[in-house]
Amino acid sequence: MKKAIVLLSGGLDSTTCLAIAKDAGYACYGLSFSYGQRHSAELEAAKRIAKQANVASHRIIPIDLGGFGGSALTDDNIDVPESEADGIPVTYVPARNTVFLSIGLAWAEVLQADAIYAGVNAVDYSGYPDCRPEYIDAFQKMADLATKAGIEGQGAKLETPLIDKTKVEIIQWGNRLSVDYSKTVSCYQADSNGRACGRCDSCRIRAEAFKQAKLPDPTVYID
């Protein structure tokens, strides 16, 4: 059976990505990171989602990006804004996807995995440099030179099926694959039970997408 590493944050996109990888016939290896994010609701969600999807393995790797500072998602001295201005958001975590994909690449090589799935998306989060197709292409080229498997032509292929999809399209795709979105956490300020604030950009984009997709919003909100 083909093997795929699936980066799994516990959010809507990565959970959809896991369902897509499973549907494509891969044995899935979930990879999550404890990287200094403010709350653990995401990781708890990732654990439940991985278990429900019956993954071959789920690893949570601690990596202290928070210690470097520089992002509202990991630095208590920077407030998460309820609405983002144009440009690169303050919720951007420096080099986050590069670090996560690199660790995924390490595991992929050991497992001799065929693919690494990442739910990066260039539509709703166009402000993040490491979510763009040109970045993903450059990472693949680097990865093919970085590893024993890569230089032997057997390296893992980076799969980003959601990169050009709108949130509505993502939800519709996941719905066809029976993804249980009530288990996913998208809110940057979710409480310890994974309940969403309903006010931040991430919450608003998500709620609007369920509405446009004509699907009931299964999100559990605070209050």
Binding residues: 8-18, 187, 197, 200, 203
* Position 92 contacts its own copies (CB under 8 A): yes
Is the CB of 89 or the CB of 161 nearer to its own copies? 89
CA distance 144 to 135: 14
Helix (H, G, I), strand (E, B) or coil at 26: coil
Is the CB of 1 or the CB of 145 nearer to its own copies? 145
CA distance 78 to 72: 5
The residue count of the chain comes to: 223
Nearest C-alpha neighbor of 80 from the set 143, 38, 117, 119: 38
* Position 126 contacts its own copies (CB under 8 A): no
Interacting residue with its own copies among 2, 23, 138, 177 (CB under 8 A): 138
Site residues for its own copies, 43-62, by CB under 8 A, read 59, 61-62
CB of 69 to its own copies, least distance (A): 6
Interacting residue with its own copies among 23, 52, 151, 177 (CB under 8 A): 151
CA distance 206 to 71: 22
Amino acid residing at 51: K
Give the pairing of strands 3-7 and 57-62. Answer: unpaired
Give the pairing of strands 115-117 and 27-34. Answer: unpaired
Where b means 16+ CB within 10 Å and e means fewer, 170-190 reads: bbbbbeeeebebebbbbbbbb
* Position 148 contacts its own copies (CB under 8 A): yes
* Position 103 contacts its own copies (CB under 8 A): yes
Interacting residue with its own copies among 56, 78, 123, 142 (CB under 8 A): 142
Which residues bind to its own copies, rule: CB under 8 A? 59, 61-65, 67-70, 88, 92-99, 101-103, 105-107, 109-110, 129-130, 132, 134-135, 138-139, 141-143, 145-148, 150-151
